Structure 1
Amino acid sequence: MPEHTEEKKGKKVEDTGPVILSGVFVFPNGDRYEGEYIQQDGSIIRSGRGVHSTTDGSVYDGEWADDKMNGVGKLTHHSGAFYAGEFVNNQFHGRGVYTWPNGSSYEGDFVENKLEGKGNFTDTEQQTWTGQFRYKAAPGLHFQLRLQ
């Protein structure tokens, strides 16, 4: 069981729903969570807004449900790469932007952590390519010409 401090926020999800609490937890592996949670059967379940920091320097700041990243948030890796967008069950799923440490980025659809669907890739020279992405393939991309 992680060490923690807590404060009651005094709000209920519904009249019959669990009480949302707020606190700070340090897990046995050194990870730290600060945010909203519920207690269920003696367990702490991250639920609501919160920030989880790992010992390797990765940080997730966003929405939680069922003790998983669910909703909108930002996950920053220790490498400097980051994803900002929608999460479902700890995966990039929905609309989002992934930015690599070199500054290139993909903005578009994600399905289970994969670039999947319509999106735009911007390279390190700030040139943008648009089209359909299929995980690691992107046949038929179109270059977006920017005249200034």
Structure 2
Amino acid sequence: MSTMDRLINKTKKYHGKGILTWKDGSNYEGYFKEGDHYGYGIKKWANGDIYEGNWERGYRHGIGKYYYANGDKYEGEWRDGELHGLGQYWFKDGGMYQGSFAFGRKDGLGSLVFGDGVHMSGNWVQDEFHSNLK
């Protein structure tokens, strides 16, 4: 009997705190509500990606950290599974973006520093740089 077998509610959906493991080796440890990841939890994907933070309705939502298997890292706000709000994204080459995101893209005020130290600060629209800060 797995941990999750004890967490099935009257509607036959996972509810409470537990660990769920998929056939590919991915796993989630945290809270469930009506079958969805909900509240604080950690998910590890088979490809090596890891997310640690808040969930709502099965989506990354609120504050969280995402460690990409390729060496990149994001720490900040999420909405419905996407980078959304203020955050910092570190690139494996040493570069870093700090600022606003909308629907998974740089959007609003932000600063991008490349691995070689060159930087751009200003307004971003859907991942494209539009203007310098004055």
TM category, shorter: 0.7 to 0.9
> Which residue does the alignment assign to 2:79?
88
State TM-score, norm by structure 2: 0.83
Q: Percent identity?
A: 24
Deviates more, 1:109-118 or 1:28-37: 28-37
Higher Cα radius of gyration: 1
- Structure 1 position 82, deviation (Å): 1.2
> Which residue does the alignment assign to 1:5?
3
Deviates more, 1:120-129 or 1:25-34: 120-129
> Which residue does the alignment assign to 1:26?
21
Inter-partner Cα distance in structure 2 for 1:140 and 1:89: 28
Match among 132, 142, 147 for residue 123 of structure 2:
132
- Structure 1 position 5, deviation (Å): 1.3
- Structure 1 position 141, deviation (Å): 2.5
1:49 match: secondary structure:
strand
> Which residue does the alignment assign to 2:47?
56
State TM-score, norm by structure 1: 0.76
- Structure 1 position 127, deviation (Å): 4.4
- Structure 1 position 22, deviation (Å): 1.3
Stretches of 4+ aligned residues off by more than 2 angstroms: 125-129, 139-143
Match among 23, 46, 50 for residue 37 of structure 2:
46
Structure 1 residues without counterparts, runs of 5 or longer: 9-19, 144-148
Asked if 1:78 is matched to 2:76, the reply is no
Tell whether the 8 Å contact from 2:123 to 2:133 is kept in structure 1 after alignment.
no
Inter-partner Cα distance in structure 2 for 1:21 and 1:126: 46
Deviates more, 1:46-55 or 1:126-135: 126-135
- Structure 1 position 29, deviation (Å): 2.9
Inter-partner Cα distance in structure 1 for 2:70 and 2:2: 29
Inter-partner Cα distance in structure 1 for 2:3 and 2:99: 39
Counterpart AA for 2:45: T
> Which residue does the alignment assign to 1:108?
99
Q: Deviations over 1:37-74 (max 9, x none)?
A: 12x3xxx2111100000000000000011111011001
* CA-atom RMSD in angstroms: 2.1
